[in-house]
Amino acid sequence: MNELSLHFWMAPAGGVTALVFAWVFYKQMCAASEGTPVMREIAAHVATGAMAYLRQQYRVMALVFIVLAVLFAILALVFELQSAWLPVAFPVWGFFSALAGYFGMKTATAASARTAQAASESLSSGLTVAFRSGAVMGLVVVGLGLLNIVLWFILLLVFTGGGGEGGQLVLITTTLLTFAMGASLQALFARVGGGIFTKAADVGADLVGKVEAGIPEDDPRNPATIADNVGDNVGDVAGMGADLYESYCGSILAAAALGAAAFLGQPALQMQAVVLPMAIAGLGIFFSIAGVYFVRTREGADQRELLHSLARGINLSALLIIAGSAALIHSMGLPNAWGLWGAVVVGLVVGILIGQSTEYFTSASYRPTREIARQAQTGPATVIIAGTAVGMFSTLFPVILVVVGTKLAYSLASGFDASQVSHGLYGIGIAAVGMLSTLGITLASDAYGPIADNAGGNAEMSGLGPEVRKRTDALDSLGNTTAATGKGFAIGSAALTALALIASYIEVIRMAMMRRGDTLLADGTEVAEASLMQFMAHFEVNLLNPTVLMGVFLGSVTAFIFCGLTVSAVGTAAGRMVDEVRRQFREIPGILEGKATPDYARCVAISTAGAQREMLLPAGLAVGIPLLVGLVLGVPGTIGLLVGALTTGFSLAIFLSNSGGAWDNAKKYIEEGHFGGKGSEAHKAAVIGDTVGDPFKDTSGPSLNILIKLMSMVAIVTAGLTLVLTLL
Amino acid sequence: MNELSLHFWMAPAGGVTALVFAWVFYKQMCAASEGTPVMREIAAHVATGAMAYLRQQYRVMALVFIVLAVLFAILALVFELQSAWLPVAFPVWGFFSALAGYFGMKTATAASARTAQAASESLSSGLTVAFRSGAVMGLVVVGLGLLNIVLWFILLLVFTGGGGEGGQLVLITTTLLTFAMGASLQALFARVGGGIFTKAADVGADLVGKVEAGIPEDDPRNPATIADNVGDNVGDVAGMGADLYESYCGSILAAAALGAAAFLGQPALQMQAVVLPMAIAGLGIFFSIAGVYFVRTREGADQRELLHSLARGINLSALLIIAGSAALIHSMGLPNAWGLWGAVVVGLVVGILIGQSTEYFTSASYRPTREIARQAQTGPATVIIAGTAVGMFSTLFPVILVVVGTKLAYSLASGFDASQVSHGLYGIGIAAVGMLSTLGITLASDAYGPIADNAGGNAEMSGLGPEVRKRTDALDSLGNTTAATGKGFAIGSAALTALALIASYIEVIRMAMMRRGDTLLADGTEVAEASLMQFMAHFEVNLLNPTVLMGVFLGSVTAFIFCGLTVSAVGTAAGRMVDEVRRQFREIPGILEGKATPDYARCVAISTAGAQREMLLPAGLAVGIPLLVGLVLGVPGTIGLLVGALTTGFSLAIFLSNSGGAWDNAKKYIEEGHFGGKGSEAHKAAVIGDTVGDPFKDTSGPSLNILIKLMSMVAIVTAGLTLVLTLL
């Protein structure tokens, strides 16, 4: 077994600390009062609904995992195309991700009534309860994620040998990478299923409740209102958490694999290069926790001040990591330490800037969203056209940020030496890790959103006074902003992670070739020692190879088809919800007079069933396409596919998320009294825009994050199969 | 001078024949009666407006061409980075394209009243007048296009020497390719400007006329109604014509350049390979004319029969070309003649199938559009969501067709020999030529659409009887179908042309390297003889080179930004039109009572000015981005950019065109009496969908055709500059 440096232990230490503080925050939250019996009852409805959803989803998932584990076992044991660890390891990885989702949801649903109650005391108390409950999710994700990585890394170090000189670490890290497929699959279910659930409930509740029956949002007379609140937790807590759990693990492991490849033949350095991403992640946990303690506000704070107090925590964490990682990297003895540190900083900065670009294009404080609101005066058509244009424009800055960030990280890590390709790619991996190093606190601010939203819903339904409602509205409104920037951050990190995964794909191919006994490339170089560029030449992965071009075309269209499927999934599932709500209004007498309680659970069950059914096709596409393309078009077609899906999917995701976010806020801007205010023709037009934007921003857009990562992951896992069975 | 084979003369013969028949059809149309004085007056308004638009556009274009000619002259004469022919040649190419647009528009505007008059005699007469007038456009485009190519080819053959053994033809064909930049620029102005004009007028006319004043479409009391009719000609005749003129010339020249490269060192074969695309195009003209004579119908024919009579003409042409090209290719003595013929057939079949896929997704005869109409019952939001989903799904088949077609053409032309890369790429070029070989008649059926539409408008405004209107409605409705399939064909041919252009980019780079005196690649091969794969390795154009990845990302986002710009351009220009129409209703007394004539010309002028102003930014983007990326990221970044823009732009164009087309036809389906019919809530919702779709299908979608070709063309023209000045 190789010697593990002291730096390595930063990772398990960070992981354990994260879980400890998650426990502390959870206990603090539980100790807070849950308010009146009505408040408790409503919260219980939501909590029960959310758990019912999770149970159903985990049941379906368990089935899928068992089937796949058997398949992988056959591939590994019969055909020897796969590490024999995989069938055991990958369900464990899925389990850990699901566990994080479970804890996060449990905390979030328990926190809503307590946040409303705390807000009835003071704004600052409300913020603290909601934010620290969000932090439970953030810390559980990073804690379980990092501990899981550390555990398996040690396990493989102990039990794996071979792979030639220095090859052992390449073998271990690429094997670890395939395990993350478990987290990817779980993310697919959580994000796509959650996205369909939440919008089916939301659109269904709005179409019948608001539009047909004319009752307000979050009205307890609406049978779908609990499902709507459950949806916020399911989509934005569990879905977002699983999404970023995957990015977090994927980026750390891809960076480790790229590090092992970059320092092949330099054993001491190689181990440090593999350890670095884990150590940065561990460091990030400590500083994220420090940041959480800096989030507080004073009574009567306005929107700007609230936002400022959140930003203070996140920025503090980022600054601490910038300083801390400089010390960390220098102490590790890696060459070009400043270059690697530069990559960390680039990642952090790109993440923050993408969030700010998202805010600019979706917040009513800026021109684009206000322009959409203005266009509402000439009707729904101009609202939709304007929002589409804004969404399309908004792709520019994130793409430029990713492009410039990638190039910069690459150049810094390679010391501006064009021949150091693999060091450059390692830099891209490190940048992704840097971006995600503050995940403990950034995810806290994401999970905060639905908690505040639900607290508002709870206050509304349980009839708390206007002073309290004003405070929960302020907290909720802040949540909308953090949700928007959180989405920008999620897609940005997904893009960097996917890039790192694509880059490490060739290392996996190298291992697969060695496993099946290939020793030489076409040009006579040894497989074990060939450079990346030699692999590229061997497989002709250039852009005039029609197979590569086919791959890029297919990747690009996969993103569109996946979106089409998820958009129409929401339509179908929402249609069922509409039927059910209409049925309850018709068949249960006294609902609309508030004399009878609607059957909330049935609406939750319908949304749950709809989500599970409707996600099958998009999920099958995400898993099936890379497998199929790998088998038909081989390595060059697969790389083309992944690049096409990544580039188109990234722009498409930002387009959909931002146009949806902008429509949402344009509606709210009008509701604040602009262009005729609530009830005006402009408002009606804006509501239509908002409804169109719902599946865009909460289902299709975020689901694309998963698509671009999962496709790379499937390609990585099926690399052995691809090599053996390529048709064309 | 090389010996030109007899086959070559097929091209000039075809070109001259096209012009002769265009003249014959034009004269026949002029001989027909233009109907009552009212009909003549209305037609005169439209004709005057269209010519006013063209004059203004040609004025702006002349300026742009002069500036660019001076720039190219400096690049050529001072820095020797360019052929000295270019500054002279490229305005001539633009002029020929503009000339074709002029003749086409003149014919189309003259034909509308005559079609209405002929329809008052019989349906078949109406169809014949309209279709043969459309054929004038088709034949002028292919005639002028092919003659222009032939002319400059002979000129360069006589005056150009050097380039080494067999290098002369590579030099000549790559030089010719740069000339097509003139046609590309003209297409940009015609398509983007025309697209903005037509939808600004349409949306403006609808928003005030139909929605606010409550008067029907094409009502002479609406000041914007003439501009709306002008727009049909400007966008769908002149714009579509210039678009396909560019594809036609670009595909023939790219195939010629790829042929010269594939048969380098085999002089006799090389000349035949260069001549083949021109000869196929010439042959296609004869058979297109034959097809035109087969388009006729009987009185009382229904929609299906009318469509069938059009399809008969087009399919006959295609079959004749399939048979004729087999004989042609075999008589030319090229090796692997069946393989090359296969590529022609593949191109033709892919073109037809893409058209059929478009029809499936946009015609109310099929499920997708009917489903959108059904969703209209729950309001505008669900209409938009359903249309978005349909548009996204509809990208699948065209992409698969292009991908499979490309691979098939490549494999057939390379004789399934993986080492014959340049023969395979030549096959892709030949497939593009094959697809466009029936352009004479397919473009006729596109240009037919606006003629029938205007005939309907003329009949409406001049108060012809219901029997006549029923006939013009039937003709118009057929026009909507041909417009949809025409758009599919236009984007399909743009994709294949762009692929051929990208493939020939490396040949241009080879010439540019030789011009500046580079003799050896990095691996020691001579530049003059290096294979494509060696160039790929030299420039590291592989997908793990971060520069290439940056390029793909930037190309992908360029497509989105370009769409955002064109969508919002329509919004801005339509806003001005709305203001003007409102002003006229307010300030000119008696307009709405039909007592005063509105100021039609002012509306045309406003749309014209709006189109010119609003197209500057997207046009600048299309020209500027490839130039900039070339200078900063060099050859690998440029190829990445072109591939990214092509793949994303293709899917995006189909998504936008098809969702727009489907919304349009869903509205018409409801108007036929389904789901409540005209005036119902469902109808109102569908009208909103239709308005959203207007800029999608008639501005942004078609403009993307230009973007993907023009970017490749700019890269080709600035290849010399790129080589000298690359920054990174």
CA distance A670 to B567: 23
Does B567 contact A385 at a Cβ distance shorter than 8 Å? yes
Which residues in chain A have Cβ-Cβ distances shorter than 8 Å to B643?
Answer: 543, 549, 552
**Smallest CA–CA distance from B495 into chain A, residue:** A553
Q: What average pLDDT does range A179-195 have in this prediction? A: 91
List all residues of chain B from 693 to 712 with a beta carbon under 8 Å from chain A.
Answer: 695
Q: Give per-residue pLDDT as tens, B191-219.
A: 899 999 998 888 888 878 877 777 877 78
Does A380 contact B378 at a Cβ distance shorter than 8 Å? no
CA distance B244 to A445: 52
CA distance A425 to A442: 26
Chain A touched by B4 (CB under 8 Å): no
> What's the pLDDT band for A162 if we cut at 50, 70, 90?
low
Chain B touched by A108 (CB under 8 Å): no
Q: What average pLDDT does range B45-58 have in this prediction? A: 88
CA distance A43 to A40: 5
The pair of structure tokens assigned to B206 is: 């609808």
Which residues in chain B have Cβ-Cβ distances shorter than 8 Å to A556?
Answer: 399, 556, 647-648, 650-651
Q: What average pLDDT does range A47-51 have in this prediction? A: 88
List all residues of chain A from 481 to 510 with a beta carbon under 8 Å from chain B.
Answer: 499, 502-503, 506
> What's the pLDDT band for B88 if we cut at 50, 70, 90?
confident
Q: What average pLDDT does range B638-660 have in this prediction? A: 96
Q: Give per-residue pLDDT as tens, A492-548.
A: 999 999 998 998 898 889 888 888 888 888 888 888 888 888 888 889 899 989 999
List all residues of chain B from 367 to 396 with a beta carbon under 8 Å from chain A.
Answer: 375, 378-382, 384-386, 388-393, 395-396
List all residues of chain B from 29 to 68 with a beta carbon under 8 Å from chain A.
Answer: none
Can you spell out the DSSP letters for B142-157?
HHHHHHHHHHHHHHHH
Q: What average pLDDT does range A615-634 have in this prediction? A: 93
| Cβ contact B265:B526 at 8 Å | no
Please tell me the predicted confidence (pLDDT) of residue B166.
67
> What's the pLDDT band for B164 if we cut at 50, 70, 90?
low
Q: What average pLDDT does range A556-580 have in this prediction? A: 91
CB atoms within 10 A of CB A590: 10
The pair of structure tokens assigned to A614 is: 């409707």
Does A546 contact B424 at a Cβ distance shorter than 8 Å? yes
Supply the mean pLDDT for chain A.
90
Please tell me the predicted confidence (pLDDT) of residue A114.
94
Q: Give per-residue pLDDT as tens, A96-148.
A: 999 999 999 999 999 999 999 999 888 888 888 999 999 999 999 999 999 99
**Smallest CA–CA distance from B421 into chain A, residue:** A545
> What's the pLDDT band for B31 if we cut at 50, 70, 90?
very high
Q: What average pLDDT does range B489-496 have in this prediction? A: 90
**Which of A178-187, B220-229, B432-441, B705-714 is the least confident region?**
B220-229
Which residues in chain B have Cβ-Cβ distances shorter than 8 Å to A382?
Answer: 571
CA distance A647 to A446: 25
Does B549 contact A378 at a Cβ distance shorter than 8 Å? no
> What's the pLDDT band for B582 if we cut at 50, 70, 90?
confident
Is pLDDT larger for residue A682 or for residue A164? A682
Residue with tokens 């290439």: B548
- Give A538 to chain B, closest Cα distance, Å: 11
Please tell me the predicted confidence (pLDDT) of residue A372.
95
Distances from the Cα of B525 to the Cα of B44, B422, B521, angstroms: 65, 17, 5
Distances from the Cα of A171 to the Cα of A76, A168, A243, A519, angstroms: 15, 5, 26, 16
The proportion of chain A whose per-residue pLDDT surpasses 70, expressed as a percent, equals: 98
> What's the pLDDT band for A220 if we cut at 50, 70, 90?
confident
Q: Give per-residue pLDDT as tens, B453-473.
A: 889 888 888 888 888 888 888
Question: How many CB contacts within 8 angstroms connect chain A with chain B?
Answer: 232
Chain B touched by A159 (CB under 8 Å): no
Does B544 contact A506 at a Cβ distance shorter than 8 Å? yes
CA distance B317 to B441: 8
> What's the pLDDT band for B649 if we cut at 50, 70, 90?
very high
Does A536 contact B542 at a Cβ distance shorter than 8 Å? yes
**Smallest CA–CA distance from B549 into chain A, residue:** A643
Distances from the Cα of B297 to the Cα of A447, B207, B607, angstroms: 66, 37, 37
* Cα Rg, chain A, nearest whole Å: 25
Is a pLDDT exceeding 70 seen at residue A383?
A: yes
| Cβ contact B137:B241 at 8 Å | yes
**Smallest CA–CA distance from B500 into chain A, residue:** A544
Does B564 contact A391 at a Cβ distance shorter than 8 Å? yes
Does B651 contact A557 at a Cβ distance shorter than 8 Å? yes
Supply the mean pLDDT for chain B.
90
Q: Give per-residue pLDDT as tens, A221-241.
A: 888 888 888 888 888 888 999
**Smallest CA–CA distance from A547 into chain B, residue:** B407
**Smallest CA–CA distance from B686 into chain A, residue:** A381
**Which of A505-519, B142-156, B623-637, B666-680 is the least confident region?**
A505-519
Is a pLDDT exceeding 80 seen at residue A80?
A: no
Q: What is the DSSP letter of A193?
A: I
Please tell me the predicted confidence (pLDDT) of residue B165.
58
> What's the pLDDT band for A1 if we cut at 50, 70, 90?
very low
Q: What average pLDDT does range A648-674 have in this prediction? A: 94
Chain B touched by A432 (CB under 8 Å): no
Q: Which of B375, B423, B549 to mutate to test the interface with A (most CBs of A within 10 A)?
A: B549
- Give A633 to chain B, closest Cα distance, Å: 11
Q: Give per-residue pLDDT as tens, A251-287.
A: 999 999 999 999 988 888 999 999 999 999 999 999 9
Please tell me the predicted confidence (pLDDT) of residue B477.
80
The pair of structure tokens assigned to A66 is: 């068992």
Please tell me the predicted confidence (pLDDT) of residue A594.
81
| Cβ contact A448:A482 at 8 Å | yes
Is a pLDDT exceeding 80 seen at residue B40?
A: yes
Does B379 contact A688 at a Cβ distance shorter than 8 Å? yes
Please tell me the predicted confidence (pLDDT) of residue A716.
92
Which residues in chain A have Cβ-Cβ distances shorter than 8 Å to B424?
Answer: 546
As for the ipTM of the complex, it is 0.94
CA distance B30 to B103: 13
The span from the first CA to the last CA of chain A, in angstroms, equals: 42
- Report the largest interatomic distance among the alpha carbons of chain A, rounded to a whole angstrom: 82
Please tell me the predicted confidence (pLDDT) of residue B2.
53
- Give A692 to chain B, closest Cα distance, Å: 5
Task: Supply the pTM of this predicted model.
Answer: 0.94
**Strands (DSSP E) found in A525-669:** none
Q: What average pLDDT does range B503-512 have in this prediction? A: 88
Q: What average pLDDT does range A599-613 have in this prediction? A: 89
Does B643 contact A552 at a Cβ distance shorter than 8 Å? yes
Please tell me the predicted confidence (pLDDT) of residue A3.
67
The pair of structure tokens assigned to B117 is: 């008059």
Q: Is B542 helix (H, G, I), strand (E, B) or coil?
A: strand
Q: Give per-residue pLDDT as tens, B379-405.
A: 899 999 999 999 999 999 999 999 999
Does B557 contact A375 at a Cβ distance shorter than 8 Å? no
Is pLDDT larger for residue A602 or for residue B19? B19
Is a pLDDT exceeding 70 seen at residue A627?
A: yes
Give a three-class secondary structure readout of B321-364: HHHHHHHHHHHCCCCCHHHHHHHHHHHHHHHHHHHHHHHHHHCC
Q: Which of B258, B399, B491, B556 to mutate to test the interface with A (most CBs of A within 10 A)?
A: B556
The pair of structure tokens assigned to B417 is: 């020999």
Please tell me the predicted confidence (pLDDT) of residue A262.
92
